[in-house]
Amino acid sequence: MSLLRQGGSYIAVGGLQFAIDWVLFVALTALGVQAPAANLASRTAGAAVGFWLNGRITFAKGGKPRLGRRRLARFLAMWLVLTAASTLLVGWTAHQVGLRHAWLAKPLVEALMAVLGFACSRTWVYR
């Protein structure tokens, strides 16, 4: 599968994931949920959509989905590491400079996580 096709599909799926993640993060924190807990909840919602769509579309092989328990376990391992990093960065930002800055920083943090996630997904998770 071409890197360009996978990259384009990953960006499209990631856009949907990010929209779910960011809207839920902002909504939860606006309701008073602490940034680390809100980030964990919002990333969980986005991850569920992302794992399924990336396995069915982005990293499918010959039109056949690449899902299953082994890939889910790999995905969860990757997701835990990336979520820990994201939560630390977003939580630190909220604590140091305020919630509104964390809302603005989250897209930058998630863009970095997406780059790392694509590399890991392509070479390890959906192999």
C-alpha distances out from residue 12 to 41, 58, 80, 83, 98, Å: 21, 9, 22, 20, 30
Q: Which two tokens stand for residue 66?
A: 């690449």
For residue 120, the enclosing domain spans 3-125
Please state the domain count of the chain.
1
What number is the average pLDDT over the span 25-51? Answer: 95
pLDDT for 71 equals 95
pLDDT digits (tens, 9 = 90+) for 58-96: 999 888 988 999 999 999 999 999 999 999 999 999 999
pLDDT band at 3 (very low <50, low <70, confident <90, very high): confident
Q: Which one-letter DSSP state was computed for residue 126?
A: T
Q: What is the DSSP string of 41-88?
A: HHHHHHHHHHHHHIIIIIT-BTTB---SHHHHHHHHHHHHHHHHHHHH
pLDDT above 80 for 1: no
pTM surpassing 0.75? yes
pLDDT for 4 equals 86
Pick from 65, 78, 64: nearest CA to 125: 78
Q: How far apart are CA 68 and CA 84, in angstroms?
A: 24
Provide the mean pLDDT of the chain.
93
What number is the average pLDDT over the span 12-33? Answer: 95
Contact of 59 with 1, CB cutoff 8 Å = yes
pLDDT for 69 equals 95
Q: How far apart are CA 1 and CA 32, in angstroms?
A: 44
Residue 31, amino acid: L
